[in-house]
Amino acid sequence: MQGSVDGSERRSLIIQDIRDRTGIDEAMIEALVTAFYAQVRQDPLIGPIFEEKVRDWDLHLQKLCAFWSSVALMSGRYHGQPMQAHVSLPVGKEHFDRWLELFETTAKAVCPPAAAAHFIERAYRIADSLELGIASRRGEIRTPRWEPGLSMR
Ligand code: HEM
């Protein structure tokens, strides 16, 4: 329809707005991801979990840059399944808390405030949903009653 903004145009406007407001670009994402995992690897609580599992750190960092690019800039660069990657790891609340603490400190150190806030908000939400998903698959909480496609009659 003439004069209206279609889906992809709207998406570009949203992405441009995020870039303008926060200054986030691929270089900032790479700086954040690199600095964050340098901290993670040295951490006594969660470092060993990564060292046990990650064989190729370059590949891991590339994947995580694509992930954050998709999350923060909606670039669609990431095509993995984070839940699958975490469900069998020996992690619980204290690991997620530490992960978030390190992420928050690093984001505030590496990024300007608006960008750090943008990353941190998303990290908290994703950590919550991973933690919930893991607990549910382990049978630690009951699976939700509602699921997409459930019809309410
Ligand atoms: C308890 C805290 C966490 C630990 C110990 C942890 C550990 C790991 C490990 C060991 C891998 C590599 C898995 C493999 O190569 O098989 C991985 C992958 C990944 N993690 Fe985490 N993680 C944690 C929290 C998070 C959070 C909060 C996020 C997102 C905000 C995240 C995002 C990812 C992504 C995107 C991958 C790549 C998955 C893929 O292969 O596509 N992780 N994590």
- Reference 66, options 99, 30, 32, 92; nearest CA is 30
Residues of the chain with pLDDT > 70, as a percent, come to 95
Among protein residues, the one with the nearest Cα to ligand 1's atom 33 is 82
Mean pLDDT within 32-39: 98
CA of 152 to the centre of ligand 1 (A): 35
Q: Does the pLDDT at position 153 exceed 60?
A: no
Tell me the C-alpha to C-alpha distance, in Å, between residue 103 and each of 54, 92, 121, 148: 18, 17, 11, 31
Domains of the chain: 22-137 (1.10.490.10)
**pTM for the full model?**
0.90
How far apart (Å, rounded) are the C-alpha atoms in residues 153 and 144?
A: 18
How far apart (Å, rounded) are the C-alpha atoms in residues 41 and 90?
A: 16
Residues of the chain with pLDDT > 90, as a percent, come to 82
The helix or strand, by DSSP H or E, that contains position 94, with its residue range, turns out to be helix 93-110
The ligand 1 atom nearest the CA atom of 99: 2
Q: Does the pLDDT at position 3 exceed 70?
A: no
Helix pair angle (57-73, 113-137), 10° resolution: 110
CA of 86 to the centre of ligand 1 (A): 6
Judge whether 127 and 83 are in contact, CB under 8 Å: no
Q: What is the pLDDT of residues 38-86, one digit of tens each?
A: 999 999 999 999 999 999 999 999 999 999 999 999 999 999 999 999 9
Mean pLDDT within 104-119: 98
Judge whether 99 and 127 are in contact, CB under 8 Å: yes
Q: Does the pLDDT at position 24 exceed 70?
A: yes
Hey, how many other C-beta atoms are within 10 angstroms of the C-beta on 96? 18
Which residues surround ligand 1 with Cβ inside 6 Å?
46, 49-50, 53-54, 63-64, 67, 80, 82, 85-86, 89, 91, 95-96, 99, 123, 126-127, 130
The ligand 1 atom nearest the CA atom of 67: 35
Q: What is the pLDDT of residue 141?
A: 80
Long-range contacts of 55-63 (CB under 8 A, 24+ apart): 61/33, 61/34, 61/37
- Reference 115, options 3, 2, 18, 5; nearest CA is 18
